[in-house]
Each structure stands twice: as C-alpha cells, then as structure tokens.
Structure 1
C-alpha cells in the first residue's frame, strides 16, 4: 500500500481535527478505517518540534565545533606553508566537506551537520584567500563574499543550514557596510530597516514554493525590524553624523525592489507584510528625526511623548508578529516578539523613567509592567489563535 504523505498542522488544529473525527465516529458517520485514514494524513507540527532529539542537537553542535575547529587548526599552522599552498589546503577541506554533504546518503540531521561544516569551511576559504591577497581581514566585503557562497550552496541544493549561515552573514554585511563608511544611529536605523523590508519581502516571495526558506527570511526580518525600531526609540538616537552614502541609497533601492516583487507575487494577506516592514522603517526614521535631546536626567513633555510613541509602535509590532506567527505556525516569531518586548520595556524603564521612579520603586513598577505585559501578551496570543482557528475551520 502506498504511504500517504503527512501534512504538518498546528497543535490546536490537530487537536480540533481529532476531536471532530472522534465525534463523527461516535455518531456513526465514519467507520474506524476511514477515521484512521483521515487522521493519518496529518501530523502535529508542535509534536514534531518537541521531538527534536538531543541526538540531532548534538549533530548540529558537533558540526559547528568541527567546522570552527578545522578552520582554527589550519589557521594555527598555516605560517609554515607558502600562501598558495595555504589556500589549497583550506579549499581542499571545503571541497571534501561539500562533497561529503551532497553526495553521501547520511540522514537529514547528519547531512545538515555536514552542510554546516562545509559552509563554515567556505568562510575559511574566503578569509584565507583575502590573507593571501593582503586584503584586510576585518573588511565587511569578505563577509559579503562568504554570504554569497553560502546562499549559492543553499539554493543550489535546497539546503537549510547553509541558508541560515548565508542569511546571518548577509545581514551582517548589509548592516556593517554603511556603518563602516559612516557610523551613526540614523545610519544603523536605515540599515536595519531596509534589511528588514528586504528580508520580509523575500519571505513572501518564497511562500510560492520554498516555504521553509521563507520561514527563515521572515524570522530574520522580524528581528531586524524590532532592532531598528528599538534603536530609533533610544532617547539619544539622533541624526548626528548621518549622511546618505552610496550603499545606503543602494540598500533603499534594493529594499524597494524586493517589496515590489513581494507585492506582485504575494498572495492574500501576505502582501501586507512588506508594507508593514516599510511602515516600521518609516516610523523609526521619523523617531530619529524627532530629536528631544540627549539629557536623560530630566524627563520633559517631549521625552514623554517620544517614549510613548516608541512604546505604542513597539507593542503594535509585537502584536503583529504574534498574529503572523500564529497564522503561519511559526513560534519563532512569537518568541522574538515576547523577548523583544521584555528587553525594550526594561531599557525604556531605565533610560527614560528612572529619572522619575527611583531605586526600589523602579523595580516594583517594572515588575508590575512585566506582569501586565505578560498577561496581556498571552491573552492576545490566545485570542488571535482562537480567532484564526475559527476562521480556518
């Protein structure tokens, strides 16, 4: 008998399906074989995530340590070799790991670990080539080349671990390059904001086929949007030292192109996601332009207003991420929203309101704020999940 592919669904939806099938079977609408056939078509995605075994974790950690260790081991002994031979040794290690990852019949987790080692080894190839060519090792361009190679590996073989490395290094390069040319708080906001728009837009484009890749891009985009808005809400984030460099202009154009592609290719409510990321960038930019001064020892009306706008915008972004995470069954978005809200609340309390609420009372007030935020956040998450379940059922 041919085995039917199982479709992962959220825990709440899977529980609802089991209850309905049991009720239909009790009412005589289904026999036992049909009930089993229906439920066998679906699997609890939450249970699948909970079964992420210690063995899989150890494989990925082992792959990371071996990859870094090989780079370190080779680098520590390269002084005894001529430059061309150094590059050859590192390249040979990378090619061996790449061949082992893509030609072997290892399990999913085993292949993922090999792919991780190969991607890390490619980074060693890039930095070794730069060293041989007398290129400064701290240049952001090297991280960009590493990201390009990792992304090529990811899309060429539909590999998730190289994608994660490629996205992390790519975002690092995207943010680092403008700050390398002209460091400023406003430049950081534009860098993080445009990267968030691009990442969220790419996630929407990936929904047409590579949903797993889309989850990675969407999670990274959410984190970048929160960081950009966080920086903008800091009282002493101003436009001092900011200038429109060539790369910032290119980043803005690339983000706009990615958003346009997402709007053209996106489906349904997904088209609102790049617009939401662009709105976050706009709000963050306006908050940076709204200079209330850098003196946090005195909190005046303008400081209260600036902090209030930042809090409202941050809470709205957190709620939006919870809604998207619930709709797309992506708990990473919910975790990012909750952790970001806690960090933001803590920072704002000490940066803005510490001048008003002193000493132990600050911690009491902060604790009450955490309790209210946690209760409201969890209630909102449950309400959103309930409403979505009602619509989709």
Structure 2
C-alpha cells in the first residue's frame, strides 16, 4: 500500500491501486444497483467518491517502448561489462581492470538507490538496478580472473547469485531478484553436475528445486508478493521438467550418483519445507508437500528402466509410459488448480503447454512404433480430449468453490505482483 493524502483532506489515506477494468466493472455494477433501487443516487455518489480516493487506477504500460528500451539497454550494458572481463581488457593491469569494473558497479548500485529515494520513474530505477545486478557478476568474474581462478567454476555463479539476491532483499527490488533467481537456478544445476554428471541427478535436482521454490513461495506470501509470485513460477516449471526428464526412457540407467552438493540440495529443500510448515501453517503447506511427491515420483520413474529399443516394446514399456503420462496429467491438473486458487495464470499456461509437449513426446517416442499413422493422432487426440475435460472440470469446481459464500477462506486468492520496479 502507498500512503497518499486524499483530495481535500489533510490526513493520509491508505490507497491500493487496482486495474482499470476492475474500476469499470464496479461503476457498471453501481449503475445497475441504482437503477434497480438497491442503493440511492446519494449512496452511489458516496461510494464512487470513496472508490476514487482509495483505489486509484493502476496503469502498468506492460509493453511501453520506453520500458522495453531501458531494460534492453541495461541488459546489453551489463552483458557488455562481463564480456569486457572475458576479453581481459589487455590494455589495463589486473588491478586497474578490477578497480574500473568495481567503480562502475558501485556507481550503478548507489545510483539506483538514489533514484529510488527520489521517486524517479520506475523503469529508470529498474534499469539502473539491473545494471548493478549484472555489474556484480562482472566484478566477481574480474576478481576471479585476477586471482587466477577459472571463470567456468560454478562457485562464481553461486557468489553472483548470493550477491544479487542480497541486493534484492535489502531493497525489495524486482530486477536484481530476477537476476539472482536466474543465476541461482543456474548454480543449482552446475555445482552438483560439476562433480557427478548423471541423468537421474538432473531429475532429483529439478524435483528438489521445485520443493525449495514452492516452500520459498509460501514463506514469501503476504510478505513480498512479487518474490512469492516468481518462486511459485519457478516451482511449477521445475516440477514439470522433473517429470518430463524422468519419463525419458533409460534416463536413470546409471542409478543415483550421490555427491555432497546433491545432498546439500536435498537438505536445503527439506529445511525450507519445514520452515514453511512452521511459519505458514495451514493449507499452504500442501504446495511444498506436493512438490515432495513430485520429487519422489520423478525419482522412482527415473529409476524404472525399461530399455531404449523402440522396435521391441513390451508391457513394461507400455506401463512405464502410461504411468508417466498419468503422473504428468495429475501434476498438470494440480498446477491448474493452484494457478486458479492463487490467481497465478502462468502456472495454468505452463501446465497446459507442458502437458501437450510431454504427451506428444511420449506418443512419438513410445507409442509410435506400435500405433502408427492416422491412429497415432486419433490416440493422441483422445488423450488431449480427456485431459481437456479434466482441466475444464477442475476449473469449474474451483470457480464454484471460490464464489462468495463458499468454503474458500479469505485471502485465498492473493493478487498478482505489481508490475513496477522500486
């Protein structure tokens, strides 16, 4: 909420920006209630005045050219700084290179916060903060280069992620947070695979990542909504990818290659889930627990090896594919339900797109040698029709449950994060 003085009043009135379409809907309803005699003209006027004071229209300008160019420019400059480090800046000594990059990073870091404190344009603040987040990576890689540390080591990406996430949480800034999440997810896979590259390791890392991200989303609910929104999106994507990779025939033929970092990843996921259960007791804990089920299911499916010879498909291959598809359908329907409950459309879209891709992959990889030609498309279409029915049924049930007067508790549908960068 923003504290802004109400028109004609000396006291500050808490406001909450809302989408223009919501205001239009409310005005239409007020006119309808007035015409039906439910409320009087005077009451309608008072309500309209109150709404105008408390709920100003919020214009995101999602595709504003200025915002696009600012963020693209910041991204290009930030990547350019890292590229300069990679090019080694041969004309400067190692100390001069480091000091130059560090000075630029500090200028962006301090400049972004100064602009934010002066309430500068949100896209401008976001662009400068993005430069600071990318500049942090340039500083880390330049320092490593000066210390003769190989630039491809995963720990450098991990340090970059820690630095940008720290910046994001101190300032509640979205752009550094997105950079931190991106580099953090990259490190999440790079570090364990650095020690033990293995197909089932990838599956377990995706599953554990889904658990960790889901738990963090729950912990951020009603605290930093924009961060919760991002963590929830990461959790859904990781869960879908975990089951997708696990269903690839013979992906787990080498078994589980345990390493210190894989154990650390699983422990972090477990600790985050426990913290979510203690801090946010109630139905929300079902999110990380559902991700735990996905982790276990993906690991078991990955361990179930049936061979890769598509010319000799037996009952075990059919059972493996059928159970994989069933598990994926259940996950997709669960994500649709969660997306509806949390007012999180990306989860719904990811679930639908992922299910289409997964079912198509399974059909052509496993069923195609047996069900060929037009019949393959008939079978595939039948699966999609059945899945569509489940999706529609889940949507209708949730919509009915979330109607006023239903058992859905208050606050069950938090709003999506604001599109501004501060």
What's the TM-score once normalised by structure 2's chain length?
Answer: 0.84
Once the two structures are TM-superposed, the CA of residue 62 in structure 1 deviates from its matched residue by: 2.2
Kindly name which structure, 1 or 2, has the bigger radius of gyration based on alpha carbons: 2
Q: How does 1:65-144 map to 2 (within 5 A)?
A: 65-73=76-84, 75-76=86-87, 78-104=89-115, 105=118, 106-144=120-158
User: Which one of the candidate residues 21, 25, 28 is aligned to 2:34?
Assistant: 25
Change over 3 Å in CA distance of 1:65–1:36 after alignment to 2:
same
Change over 3 Å in CA distance of 1:126–1:32 after alignment to 2:
same
Aligned partners of 2:102 and 2:179: how far apart in 1?
18
Aligned partners of 1:52 and 1:21: how far apart in 2?
31
Q: How does 1:166-205 map to 2 (within 5 A)?
A: 166-205=180-219
User: Which one of the candidate residues 267, 279, 289 is aligned to 1:253?
Assistant: 267
Q: How does 1:272-283 map to 2 (within 5 A)?
A: 272-283=286-297
Q: State the SS of the aligned residue for 1:256.
A: helix
Calculate the aligned-residue CA RMSD, in Å: 2.7
Q: Residue 146 of structure 1 aligns with which residue?
A: 160
Are residue 286 (structure 1) and residue 313 (structure 2) matched?
no
Q: Residue 48 of structure 2 aligns with which residue?
A: 36
Aligned partners of 1:385 and 1:8: how far apart in 2?
22
Say which structure is richer in helix: 1
Aligned partners of 1:90 and 1:3: how far apart in 2?
45
Provide structure 2 residue ranges, at least 5 long, that are not aligned to the other structure: 1-6, 411-422
Once the two structures are TM-superposed, the CA of residue 282 in structure 1 deviates from its matched residue by: 0.9
Aligned partners of 1:353 and 1:346: how far apart in 2?
10
Aligned partners of 2:151 and 2:85: how far apart in 1?
16
Aligned partners of 1:60 and 1:378: how far apart in 2?
38
Are residue 325 (structure 1) and residue 336 (structure 2) matched?
no
Aligned partners of 2:401 and 2:27: how far apart in 1?
19
Instruction: Report which stretch shifted further, 142-151 or 315-324.
Output: 315-324
Instruction: Report which stretch shifted further, 227-236 or 290-299.
Output: 290-299
Q: State the SS of the aligned residue for 1:63.
A: helix
Aligned partners of 1:43 and 1:387: how far apart in 2?
30
Aligned partners of 1:356 and 1:251: how far apart in 2?
40
Change over 3 Å in CA distance of 1:383–1:61 after alignment to 2:
farther
Aligned partners of 1:260 and 1:66: how far apart in 2?
41
Q: Residue 238 of structure 2 aligns with which residue?
A: 224
Q: State the SS of the aligned residue for 2:152.
A: coil
Q: State the SS of the aligned residue for 1:176.
A: helix
Larger RCO of the pair (alpha carbons < 8 Å, separation 6+)? 2
Aligned partners of 2:100 and 2:186: how far apart in 1?
27
Q: Residue 417 of structure 2 aligns with which residue?
A: none
What's the TM-score once normalised by structure 1's chain length?
Answer: 0.90
Q: Residue 250 of structure 2 aligns with which residue?
A: 236
Once the two structures are TM-superposed, the CA of residue 38 in structure 1 deviates from its matched residue by: 5.7
Instruction: Report which stretch shifted further, 244-253 or 25-34.
Output: 25-34
- Whether the 8 Å contact between 1:196 and 1:222 is mirrored in structure 2 is yes
Provide structure 1 residue ranges, at least 5 long, that are not aligned to the other structure: none
Aligned partners of 1:4 and 1:62: how far apart in 2?
35
Q: For this pair of structures, how many residues does the alignment match?
A: 390
Aligned partners of 1:242 and 1:156: how far apart in 2?
38
- Whether the 8 Å contact between 2:81 and 2:101 is mirrored in structure 1 is no
